[in-house]
Amino acid sequence: MKLKSADLEKEFQEVGAVRILNFLTSRDLLRIKELYDELGLSDLKGIYSNVKNKSSEYNTKVDVIFQEIYKQSIEKHFEGYQVGGGAFLIKGTGNESHSSLHQDWNVVDENKYQSAAIFCPIVDVDEQNGCLQVIKGSHKWFQNIRSFRTPTPFFNFNQVKKGLVAFPVKAGDAIVFRHNVIHGSKPNLTSNIRVAAMVSVASKSANYLHYMKEGDEFRVLKADNEFYNNELSKLYSNDNINIEEINRLVIEPGMVLDFSDFDKKYKEEFPESFLGRMGKFFKNK
């Protein structure tokens, strides 16, 4: 998987995320808005995606339409790719709508392949209503596994003083960000729900996977559209899922990340300035 633009590909490799202008048309945004209206959401305070609790029929409908909408622009900007599932990512209003800094689940074997989300809001997004922010280069730091049962640590924005890159965008622009880059967004402080469509892309030869932690092993499950549209909601409701197992991995050091791992690596990448250290010295006096 590679961006056709050399400049965008360089930024994508260095930062872990990149902005692509005018990714979707106004007609595309209207189709997304019409599909969103079917959800009937109101007074939303947190973060919501349809894959958590909607019917498999609705999730499949969203997936098919989003892939159709994205198809032409993905072909224009990417090479060596395959397209994964599509879903809404909706931010409510107020302080509960923040998304702490984190990594998304692995969807491919990241030792061999790349994967990313293509996030496209249907309204203008800035820091006032919670634009995406990433820690520059953090996708290169770890080779950890993240999943429903093995979440990444979540970090507050006040724990991160350096390295944050914000991505304000206009409606129809896209942000492509790696699933393993550490990212998040601050609260939506406006009175309007922020609606965005998201589709995943991955290296063409990769298998889509989900890692299910059981004891000291990971069950590696086939995670095609059937998994996300029909089975994923069962994880949230503690129901059994019926997905093909394709491998098992013994959990080894480094596969599961904790906050101390992040803290150590972050301080190596973004060491405190001399003035900062001196300020703490005099404060402790």
Please report the pLDDT score of residue 224 as a whole number.
84
2-284 is classed in which CATH architecture? Answer: Sandwich (2.60)
Residue 276's Cβ-side half-sphere holds a number of Cα atoms within 13 Å equal to 6
- Give the confidence band of 280 by pLDDT, cuts at 50, 70, 90: low
pLDDT at 84 over 90: yes
The pLDDT assigned to 218 comes to 96
Contact 185, 132 (CB under 8 A): yes
Looking at residue 279, its pLDDT comes to 55
Q: Determine the pLDDT at residue 276.
A: 57
pLDDT, tens digit, for every residue of 220-277? 999 988 888 888 888 888 888 888 999 999 999 999 999 999 999 999 999 986 545 5
pTM over 0.85: yes
Residue 273, exposed/middle/buried by CB under 10 A (0-12, 13-18, 19+)? exposed
Structure tokens at 270: 């973004």
> What span, in angstroms and rounded, lies between the C-alpha atoms of 78 and 83?
10
What pLDDT was estimated at residue 284? Answer: 57
* Tens-digit pLDDT profile for residues 40-66: 998 899 999 999 889 999 999 999 999
Mean predicted lDDT score pLDDT of the chain: 93
Average the pLDDT over 109-118 and give the result: 97
